[in-house]
Amino acid sequence: MTFIVKLGAGLLLLAILVGTVTSYLQRRLMYYPDTRRFTPDGVGLKDVAEVEYPAADGHKGLAWFGAAKPGRPTILYFHGNAGGLEARSERIRKYMARGYGMFMMTYRGFSGRDGEPSEKANVADALLAYEALRARGVGATGIVLYGESLGSGVAVQVAAEKPVGGVILDAPYTSMVDLAELHYPYLPSRYVMTERYDTRAYVGRIRAPLLVIHGERDDIIPVEMGREIFRLSAEPKKLVTLPGAGHSDHYMFGSYDAIYDWLDKLDRPQASGDAAAPGSISPRVARS
């Protein structure tokens, strides 16, 4: 009996050790934050303000916010796994030049935020960012979620729970487990990963217009994953794949024009006090 107890205790300690190491390693392989804190004005964004908002567990959320022009939606942007807000300042500039509002949040450990990023924390903070944007008077139909790469797995979870006017998935993946198996086939990813970002499980619950955009030469997240996410999603939806484009260079192949065209075909956003049902969708959005 003593041997069995010792064996059980040893296995428990081993499991705890493996779990701890696995959690540490997967986060180090998944997140590559730029920890420096910049200000919008410091990178030349004159009509954008740094916004802090209450987040879970006593942390403060951080976002860069620029208001939309009348009749234009506000993009609630969830960025990828590397860099931070400063690295995406040109994206903010381009969308705001077209009159769209921008509310780009960042994850814990990125852009000067405290804490550690994780799927649970990132999604919780994203939901609070949604509420922070609503509190600024932006109606549900005036919010378009934009998920970039890793952020696509955040965006689908927000869209599955909250009413929005539209969703853009930029280089989406089926799940982080699928990606890990693709890039690290020698690791038992499916059995040990806790940061799963199972986009496949959420995308079918989205009831807002959807745009999926993907480079056909993406060697990080294969375009086949984007096509699978599109297949699993509900109408109205549109898929744009860009020949020659990789993972983070599709702006050179016309992605901005495709996104502008899709955004311009959405219904006009409504103020938070409007009576129309939140999350109503536009029949004018191009379908597959």
- 163 in Cβ contact with 267 (< 8 Å): no
In a domain? residue 247: yes
Same domain assignment for residues 147 and 17: no
Q: What is the DSSP letter of 160?
A: H
Q: For residue 26, give its domain range.
A: 1-30
Model pTM?
Answer: 0.86
95 and 120 share one domain: yes
Summarised one tens digit per residue, pLDDT across range 86-136 is 999 999 999 999 999 999 999 999 999 999 999 999 999 999 999 999 999
Residues 23 and 60 in one domain: no
Within 10 angstroms of residue 86's Cβ, the number of other Cβ atoms is 19
pLDDT in tens, 53-82: 988 788 899 999 999 999 999 999 999 999
Q: Is the pLDDT of residue 262 over 70?
A: yes
Q: What confidence tier does 269 reach under pLDDT thresholds 50, 70, 90?
A: low
Q: What count of residues does the chain have?
A: 288
pLDDT tens-place string over residues 182-211: 988 887 878 888 889 999 999 999 999 999
Computed over every residue of the chain, the mean pLDDT equals 86
Complete DSSP assignment for 17-36: HHHHHHHHHHHHHH-EE---
Within 10 angstroms of residue 214's Cβ, the number of other Cβ atoms is 27
Query: Whole-angstrom Cα distance, residue 224 to residue 43?
Result: 36
What is the identity of the amino acid at 263?
L
Residue 71, domain CATH: 3.40.50.1820
Annotate 113-148 with DSSP letters as a single string: --S---HHHHHHHHHHHHHHHHHTTB-GGGEEEEEE
Do 150 and 214 belong to one domain?
yes
Looking at the fold, whether 163 and 54 belong to one and the same domain comes out as: yes
Question: Do 141 and 18 fall into the same domain?
Answer: no
DSSP state of 269: P
